[in-house]
Amino acid sequence: MNNILVAQEVTKKFGNQYALNKVSLSIPENCIYGLLGPNGAGKTTLIRIINQITFPDSGSVLFDGRPLRPQDIASIGYLPEERGLYKSMKVGEQALYLAQLKGLTKSEAKKRLKYWFERLEIGDWWNRKVQELSKGMAQKIQFIVTVLHQPKLLIFDEPFSGFDPINANIIKDEIINLKDQGASIIFSTHRMESVEELCEYIALLHNSEKILDGKLDDIKKQYKNNTFEVIADFENTNTGLENLKSHYNIGIDEIKGQNGHCHFNVRLPSDDTKRFLADLSTIASVNSFVETVPSASDIFIKTVKDKNGK
C-alpha cells in the first residue's frame, strides 16, 4: 500500500523549545489515521507543517511520494481546531470565496456547494449572515468548505467539537463516506471513543516526540495482557473463590457480587484459557468470559504515564 504522506525526522523549534523532535510518520493511502497526544504535544505544529503554514527546521515531508510542493495545498483539505468564519459575510458568498481560494472555479464551486448544502440540509442559509448562525451550523459550513475541492488528503483537527451528538454522527458518517470514496484522512482528537470507532492507524505524540504508532489492532494486541472479565455463579462463593485465588491471579478488590453471583477480572499467566475454564466450571456456572482488550484511551493514558514516569 502506498503512503499518501511520509514525515522524515521532522524537527521544529520555537526559540529554544522543541515543538517537534525528529518525528517520523507514514500515513497510508485511503485510511483514517488518528493523530493523538496531550495538549502541547506537537500535533498542531505537525499539521501546520503538512499544510505549509509553518516550515520544519530540519527533516522532510513527502506527499504522494515526492517532496511537498506549494501547489499541493490544493490537494489537501484542512479543518483547523481554531476555526471560524467572517461574521459579517453572507454564508454562500463566504463559502464561494473559500472554495475559490482552494482553486475551484466559481461555477464549479457553486454547483458543489449546492449539492453539499442540500446534503447537510442547510440550503436555506445561503443568503444569511454568519453571525445569525448557531455554532453547529457554522461548523457544518466549515466542514463543507474543507471537503469541497475533493482533496486527496483531509486533515480534521477536533472535527466534532461544537456539534451536538446528532450532528456529530452525521459528520462522522460523512468522514467514513469520504474515506470510502478514496480520500486519506488525518484525524486529530482527544475524544478516544471516536478514535476507536474511526481510526485504522494511530500515532501518539508526547512532548514533541512520537512515542507510538502503527495499526490500532496491532497496538492493542501488544498492550493486552491476558486479562479476562468473568461473570459466574458459584455454588459456594467462599471456598470456590479461595480455591481459585490460590491458583490464579485474581484481584480481591475487583470481586463484586452477592449470593454466589460474581463479577471479577483474572489475569492468566499465559494463553492457557482452557485449564482456567475447566477449573472454573467445576465450581461455578460461567455466564460470561471475555478477554479485556485495552481501549485506545487506556493505551493513551498508560503510554503517556509510563513516559512521564521515566
Partner 1 sequence: MENSKLPLIIRREYMAKVRNKSFVIMTFLSPILMVGMIALIAYLTKVNDSDKKVVGILNQSDYFSTDFNITDRTSYIFFEDISLEKAKDSTLHLGLSGLLYIPDYENLEEVVMESYFYSKEPPSAAVLDPLEDVFQERLRQRKLLTFGVSPEEFKLLNQPFEINILTFSGKQNLKGINELKAIIGGGFGYLIMMFIIIYGGFVMRSVIEEKTSRIIEVIISSVKPFQLMLGKIIGTSLAGITQFVIWILSASLLLFAVFMIFGIDLTGLSTQQSLPSPLGAPAPVDVPMDAMQLYAMEFLEIPWVLLISLFLVYFILGYLIYSSIYAAIGAAVDNETDTQQFIFPIILPLMLAIYVGFFSVFSNPHGPIAVGFSLFPLTSPIVMLMRLPGGIGDGGVPLWQVLTSILFLIITFIAIVWFAAKIYRVGILMYGKKPTYKELYKWLRY
Q: Which residues bind partner 1 (CB under 8 A)?
A: 14-15, 48, 51, 53-54, 70-71, 73-74, 76, 78, 80, 82-89, 97-98, 100-103, 142, 145
Residue type at 32 in one-letter notation: I
CB of 80 to partner 1, least distance (A): 4
| Grid coordinates belonging to 226 | 491476558
CB of 221 to partner 1, least distance (A): 36
Q: Which is nearer to partner 1, 15 or 67 (CB)?
A: 15
Q: Which is nearer to partner 1, 51 or 297 (CB)?
A: 51
**3-state secondary structure at position 248:** coil
Among residues 32, 2, 81, 3, which one has the least CA distance to residue 202? Answer: 32
Alpha-carbon torsion angle 239, 240, 241, 243, nearest 10:
80
Q: Which is nearer to partner 1, 126 or 248 (CB)?
A: 126
Q: 87-124 b/e with 16+ CB inside 10 Å = b? A: eeebbbebbbebbeebebeeeebeebbeebbeebebee
Q: Which is nearer to partner 1, 32 or 76 (CB)?
A: 76
CB of 25 to partner 1, least distance (A): 19
Among residues 137, 218, 152, which one has the least CA distance to residue 185? Answer: 152
Q: Which is nearer to partner 1, 91 or 280 (CB)?
A: 91
CB of 229 to partner 1, least distance (A): 44
| Grid coordinates belonging to 119 | 446534503
CB of 82 to partner 1, least distance (A): 5
Q: Which is nearer to partner 1, 54 or 295 (CB)?
A: 54
CB of 26 to partner 1, least distance (A): 22
CB 29 within 8 A of CB 3: yes
